[in-house]
Structure 1
Amino acid sequence: MNYTLNQLRIFLKIVEKQSITKASEELHLTQPAVSIQLKNFQNQFPIPLTEVVGRQLFVTDFGQEIAEAARRILKEVDGINYKLLAYQGELAGRLKISVVSTGKYVMPYFLSNFMRENPGVDLVMDVTNKSRVVESLEENQVDFALVSVLPQHLNLNKVGLMKNILHLVGNPKYFNKVKLGKSSFSKDTPLIFREKGSATRAAMETYLTKKNVTVSKKIELTSNEAVKQAVIAGLGCSIMPLIGVNNELKKGDLKIIPLKDLPVITTWNLVWLQNKKLSPVALALLDHLNATKEKVIKDNFAWVQEY
């Protein structure tokens, strides 16, 4: 056998994505190039690694075992590279962070200088909903997680990064004003929610419970971007993090609708398990954040004060 590390990486990405097209997009390669590498890799085994049923690609049991072996090999190769860089005096290693979906508007700004200053550090950032973020913490799959609502059942350390401000927003063409009665929003004002498990939904429901408000008409969507587009289209209003709607507010596609006891204000916290032994890379990031977070906020998020 004479397979290459590049073939291992490509095959592993195909297994992860269950698709040659998606793997090629993530690897920034053409689809034919990925297909050729898969074929060359497959030719070295007498047993199929993948099979196509209809138009769907499936990985065989043997292919899954080869993928697991490839994962271990590539991890060892990365370890060799990190040791070399460390021997040369550079900070090196892998940093794994799980980020709630709205946190994608926040975390990159706090990481960018650190990553530029430390080219030997590889970053894996998973952007998902709060339930999956908490699960990754519980299972010790990540170094850190970015959340705006702390999971109470976990013993965590935290570094507060910045405020998370949530306003009621709507498209001014359809919802210039919103009437909130003693017990409910008016029937002609649907509220758009994130899915259960979302921190944004939790903040929204906390507000409604505090005001003892029922919702006459509810729409549920599964991503912050989907909620934003639905509000722009006039499907309803939603309580959304300000950090994710700045451009739409400037263009006039959305408007903040004043309402008593709003905005809701939480804090973006970078958290980790109290009993976790942090790597040198993770410890270096914490030092970096404590030293630079105020400047990051001033340089990138001063516009929040306008609202």
Structure 2
Amino acid sequence: MTLPLRSVSLRQLQVFLEVYQRGSITAAAQQLHLTQPTVSLQLKRLSEQLSEPLYHLHHRRLIFTESARLLAEYTREVLRSTERLEMSLADLHQLKAGTLRIALVSTAKYFIPTIIGPFAREYPLVDLQLKIVNRAELLQRLEQHRDDVYVLSQLPEQPALNVHPLVANPLHLIAPDPHPLGGHPSLSLHDLSQEAFLFREAGSGTRLAVEQCLARLDLRLTPRMVIESNEAIKQCVAAGLGLAFLSEHAIRYGGMAGIQRLAVKELPIQTHWQFVWPKDQSPSVLAEAFLRYLTASPLATDQG
């Protein structure tokens, strides 16, 4: 059976995808600057044209059908292809116009502006969209191909990725300043096993790297607190609530008032920031220009 797709408009698909991704007609209407009845009518017509139910209501919540899931998957491909066509046509006129979408985990926000700044100046007509999320949400966006490139330190096992290395991301141990162990010349992590520790949330890149390091040392540290913000961790350490593993970039950002690095022989934990994108995702014209810029940029390839 051939679906009557020729009668479906790009606008209908855009409206549907916004509702699907937000899980709410109200939220989608606000994002699209449309009224709720207009969005509901677009969905109703789309469902009728496809002869497929796209959702049903359960306790006033949208429950999407398998047909909706498939439609969302292919709609993303259609809209990305349309965007690539528009940017390719613009590129023929040397405009390099369009939108470059970059998703990054929160700790990367400390250094990524220094990398994209020169690119933005070289291509002033490019609209840069930065989405700062936690690791779990970034992996979800990666799986859904919602952005052009992604920034993270700990690579997932799936999907298959193209990888462009960026800057080093060493993880240090910080303590309140002053602290009895400050200036100690030969600490090891085993010496610190009875100290109170503040950890990032489970699944974060920092937490994963720390857990891998502790596993290699056959050492278990029980967190006193779990905190989802680097800034909050620094404040809690300065307040004397415990020690914490933190990225060099997060430590430097905002200064080191009230905190100090501890010299620990197993540290720093060496990780690296990386730009990645799915191998089955064709890069847009803008993404290709951005990746060429990364290859030529000394800062973007600094492993130091």
Give the one of 258, 263, 286 matched to 2:262: 258
CA distance in 2, matches of 1:104, 1:127: 10
What is the aligned partner in structure 2 of residue 37 from structure 1?
38
Q: Which stretch of the first structure deviates more once superposed, 89-98 or 285-294?
A: 89-98
* 1:54-133 mapped onto 2 (5 Å cutoff): 54-60=59-65, 63-64=68-69, 67=72, 70-71=75-76, 73-91=78-96, 99-115=104-120, 117=123, 119=125, 127-129=133-135, 133=139
CA distance in 1, matches of 2:221, 2:149: 36
Deviations 1:259-288 (A, max 9, x none): 323444433233568999766544422331
Using the TM superposition, give the Cα deviation of residue 13 of structure 1 relative to its aligned residue in structure 2, in angstroms.
1.2
CA distance in 2, matches of 1:272, 1:8: 24
1:183 aligned counterpart, secondary structure? helix
**Cα RMSD, aligned residues only:** 4.9
Using the TM superposition, give the Cα deviation of residue 243 of structure 1 relative to its aligned residue in structure 2, in angstroms.
1.7
CA distance in 2, matches of 1:284, 1:112: 14
Using the TM superposition, give the Cα deviation of residue 244 of structure 1 relative to its aligned residue in structure 2, in angstroms.
2.5
What is the aligned partner in structure 2 of residue 183 from structure 1?
190
* 1:217-296 mapped onto 2 (5 Å cutoff): 217-220=223-226, 231=237, 235-250=241-256, 252=257, 255-261=259-265, 262-271=267-276, 280-294=285-299
Task: Give the 3 Å change call, closer, same or farther, for CA 7–170 of structure 1 in structure 2.
Answer: farther
Task: Determine if contact 1:12/1:67 at 8 Å carries over to the other structure.
Answer: yes
Using the TM superposition, give the Cα deviation of residue 258 of structure 1 relative to its aligned residue in structure 2, in angstroms.
1.8
Normalised TM-score (structure 2): 0.65
Give the one of 192, 212, 215 matched to 2:221: 215
> Number of aligned pairs?
287
Deviations 1:137-174 (A, max 9, x none): 8x9987654343567999977544323232223455xx
2:169 aligned counterpart, secondary structure? strand
Task: Give the 3 Å change call, closer, same or farther, for CA 249–4 of structure 1 in structure 2.
Answer: same
Task: Determine if contact 2:102/2:128 at 8 Å carries over to the other structure.
Answer: no
CA distance in 2, matches of 1:79, 1:246: 38
Q: Which stretch of the first structure deviates more once superposed, 58-67 or 271-280?
A: 271-280
Task: Determine if contact 1:50/1:58 at 8 Å carries over to the other structure.
Answer: yes
Deviations 1:58-112 (A, max 9, x none): 3345655654565455345324422421332333677565544422333343224
CA distance in 1, matches of 2:249, 2:12: 40
1:205 aligned counterpart, secondary structure? helix
CA distance in 1, matches of 2:276, 2:7: 44
1:167 aligned counterpart, secondary structure? strand
Task: Give the 3 Å change call, closer, same or farther, for CA 243–84 of structure 1 in structure 2.
Answer: same
What is the aligned partner in structure 2 of residue 19 from structure 1?
24
Aligned AA for 1:183? H
What is the aligned partner in structure 1 of residue 207 from structure 2?
201
Normalised TM-score (structure 1): 0.64
Say whether residues 1:53 and 2:54 are aligned partners: no
Task: Give the 3 Å change call, closer, same or farther, for CA 55–121 of structure 1 in structure 2.
Answer: same
CA distance in 2, matches of 1:124, 1:49: 31
Task: Give the 3 Å change call, closer, same or farther, for CA 85–154 of structure 1 in structure 2.
Answer: closer
| Gaps in structure 2 of 5+ consecutive residues | 1-5
| Gaps in structure 1 of 5+ consecutive residues | 298-307
Q: Which stretch of the first structure deviates more once superposed, 61-70 or 104-113?
A: 61-70
Matched residues, percent identical?
Answer: 27
